[in-house]
Amino acid sequence: MKLHKNLVEAVIECLNLIMFEKKYSDKALEKTFKKHPQWGARDRRFIAESVYDIIRYYRYLCFVADTEKNFRLIFAAYLFGKNEPLPDWADYQTINTKLFQLKKNENVSATVRLSYPDELWNLCEAELGKEIWLKEAEALNLQANVFLRCNTLKIKKNELIKKLIESQIEVKEINGFDDALQLVKRQNIFSTKEFKEGLFEVQDAGSQLISLFLNPLPGQKVIDACAGAGGKTLHLAALMQNKGRIISLDTESWKLDELKKRAKRAGANNIETRLIDTSTSSVTAGSVTIKLLENFADCVLLDVPCSGTGVVKRNPDAKWKLNSEVIEKTKQLQYQILKEYSVMLKSGGKLVYSTCSILPSENQLQVQRFLSENKNFELQLEKTILPSDGFDGFYMALLTKK
């Protein structure tokens, strides 16, 4: 599309917010769009795609542009890499693209070429091995596909496909996934009547496997202990056919409020939300909420906080916020939750521990440590989905309590 200076300036504004003020990319874009409600879908798409592309390849573009702070030069290097002409604006006329060409032809390390901080690259390579990490690092730089989950509480998948086609939304089915659909072309689906009627949710296909891994039965008592805004809670409700009881817990009230809105739209009426109050206690079994639910549930889902290394496709700015200190603190919290929230499971029950990380230290090693310290639990099955599989990266382990 033809470049408009105000849109390019918006891209630069977002990049400053993300890289220097450490804002999350979605929040930076949201703030920018609110300031300019006159922009249409095409303008917003240009800004969002440009921002995400530049963040993905930020280190390499900084190398080509020979700067880490001048976002006009970095944007010029971005256009140069796409073989697009620079705008004829005064502040771009002095840019020497011959220098870009010289830098582009230099041999650089995979760390620079694929744009990862050294610390994160070395950490991932040490945990996954050089060959596997290189493959995943490349996959994580791809634009994430958009997946839907058919809400079987309201409609069958084949009927949903027909309705979406009628609304000029092209989707395709995915082998091995009963309720998942993939958008063929990216478009705004949140304004469609099908979404407003609660006929589908936007959820990565890999994420949909986690609730299936727990496989709750209609009529059971289920706890989603780190529910957030409820994507997996809603899937659990559908799997349970609205029968039984789901208690969704979180430490953030605004997330549970969003879950309630989503549940109402989805027609999921077997969900109860409870806030874990951390004002007087840590996020542990010391919480009154957790103690009241001891030995209560047939099934417990622990989709714990994690590094998010499996979802960098969707959150490329996470690359520049992660370091070993952050990941170490996250691992301590993960284990604390696994150890102390597991008391809510009754004997004979099932527990799924899951993350959106691809690091074994957050996944298999956490489960192994827990099992070594808790002999009344057994590992039944575990599964890893890597970003190179075409979805987001996830880990899930199914445990049973003796």
Task: Give the residue numbers annotated as catalytic, written as ranges.
Answer: 356
DSSP assignment, residue 353? Answer: E
User: In whole angstroms, what is the distance from residue 156 CA to residue 152 CA?
Assistant: 6
Tokens 């301590």 sit on residue: 332
> Do the Cβ atoms of 304 and 356 come closer than 8 Å?
no
Alpha helices in 199-301 (DSSP H): 205-214, 231-239, 253-266, 288-292
Smallest Cα–Cα separation from 185: which of 202, 195, 172, 176?
A: 172
| CA–centroid distance for 110 within its chain | 24
> Do the Cβ atoms of 224 and 233 come closer than 8 Å?
yes
Q: In what order do the strands lie in the sheet with 200-202?
A: 171-173, 180-183, 147-150, 200-202
Alpha helices in 246-310 (DSSP H): 253-266, 288-292
State the Cα angle at 396 between 323 and 319, rounded to 5°.
20
User: In whole angstroms, what is the distance from residue 83 CA to residue 101 CA?
Assistant: 11
Exposed / middle / buried, residue 106 (Cβ in 10 Å: 0-12, 13-18, 19+): exposed
What is the Rg, in whole angstroms, of the alpha carbon atoms belonging to the chain? 23
